[in-house]
Structure 1
Amino acid sequence: MKRHLRVHIVPLWREHDRIVGPIEDDRPDKVYLLEHEDPAVERPTYHEAVVDRIADVVGTPPDVEYLDLFDMYEVMGAITTIADWHPDDFVRVNVTAGTKRAAVGATMACMDEHTDAEPYVVDPEVRPHGLDAPVTEGFERASLLTTYQIDSPSPDQVAALALIEAHDTDAKRAKKKTLITEAARYGLEFMRGRVDGEVEDYDPVTGDYNVLDNRVTATLEHQGYVAVTQRGTRRYLELTEEGRQTLRAFRHRAESVVSDLEARTDDPSDNVDFALDNPVDALVEHR
């Protein structure tokens, strides 16, 4: 029988006790720290003490990912990705240990209907402190935070966002036909069973457009992730800024498509232009 692990995901910013205290209480099996990376910001010396204490409690050093703790979508993406790595485990997220924007991103990640993670808040005993020490002192209690589920894009919808962005180049724009032919190429769920014969040079039929609208593009437009522009008789798709940020946050749901589009960008014979940062690239490299 598979063992269910207790996992903590914790932003590491200007706190010590509010990070270490709940870990000492809960004794998780694994800890991920999300630490701010900015050459202009000096790393507090007590961060080493946090890492060492967690290693003592857990028995192994925490996995550390350096990212922008002032980018809520990057934090959201890191947490949803890590939680997806532990589908059978108990994942908890400390939403009060990072920046204010990190707290928003962490809470949104836990509110995502497809992310099985519990957020918790940590009350300090004393506040505030100076810049050379953690902003709070002591650990009073950690409490689970009540959240409400929010909709998030399906794997097909995330893949569609990536495909639209990849085909938005100097030479062309993405059309619905583009999405259908590329979806056939990648075997996306909404196109399964609809393609007879070879997927290369697949010629869409009317029913494909109806399925695409019903399961992918109508929702993306309604959510404000995709805008439709008309040029003559042709309609083109492009990502809004919110669509780009959503793609960053949920790229792991379509990782195989994202990775392949990045590889295709290096092929001059394939008119694809795509690059997307990964909020957990270092963790992926060492998994």
Structure 2
Amino acid sequence: MYHREMIAPTSKGGPLALPDWAWQRPELRLALKTRDIGALLRSVQQYTGASQSRIAVAVGVLQGRVSEIVRGSRTVTTLELFERIADGLEMPDDARMLLGLAPRHPAGLDHLSASGRAEILAVYPSQSSARAEIQQRANEATAVEILAVRGLGIIGMNDSLLRSRIRQRTTTVRVLLLDPDGEAARRRADEIGETYGSFAAGIRLSIERLRDLATEGADIEVHVYNILPTWRLIGLDATLFLSAFGESHEGHTSPMYKLTGSPHGALHRGFHRFTDELRRTARRVV
């Protein structure tokens, strides 16, 4: 049972903590999922009794800006401000992930060595949970590396994860897709219950869409490989976002790991070596 009494706000600065039960309220979770920060801050006021000035101190923005957000006359769109709000409200990890942010304390990493934890910066439930951070990093990246099957949701279509950001910037892009004419494509289509014809057509469509980018002047290379896909990778400079394909599910629905290089770690170096070798043996089509 949830308690509705308001927690008296402290007059001091620093983070503003909501009671644990408040983060489970349906209206607050809906606000997180839809990134409606105005509704979120109104809930903060309801469950803590905090003034707009107190919220402003907690999240590190001007009180006038908080007022605009609460009234709905200003929306929050930058990853930096989402992070600042999450930190200022001491948002628990499940709430952070609903908002599309990485958890502060990813589950399942406690058993790793220090070098392993240094490489794995975050674990997301799926690509959609990492979408905001991937796009933010893509805005700043000078090199993009993609390992996928069809790649339509990553870069192939106009509303895909990275296409608009790559079109707007001078970025080196290297893409590895499954060979639509290879035996591995037939095996993958069978695994996920698609006809080979429609499955291969999706890959060919993505290749043509990437060829359009090259025609427009993008610095892009596309290769096709012919092994059964296991890993799905988005590399943005030195940061890798990694997920896996299963026998019955696509890579974007699996948990996604955020990796970075570590002096004594093997994962980051290993995946770079894997993609370099895969590209060496693949066939260039764009």
Same fold (TM over 0.5): no
TM-score, normalised via structure 1 length: 0.29
TM-score, normalised via structure 2 length: 0.29
Kindly indicate which of the two structures has a greater share of residues assigned to helix.
2
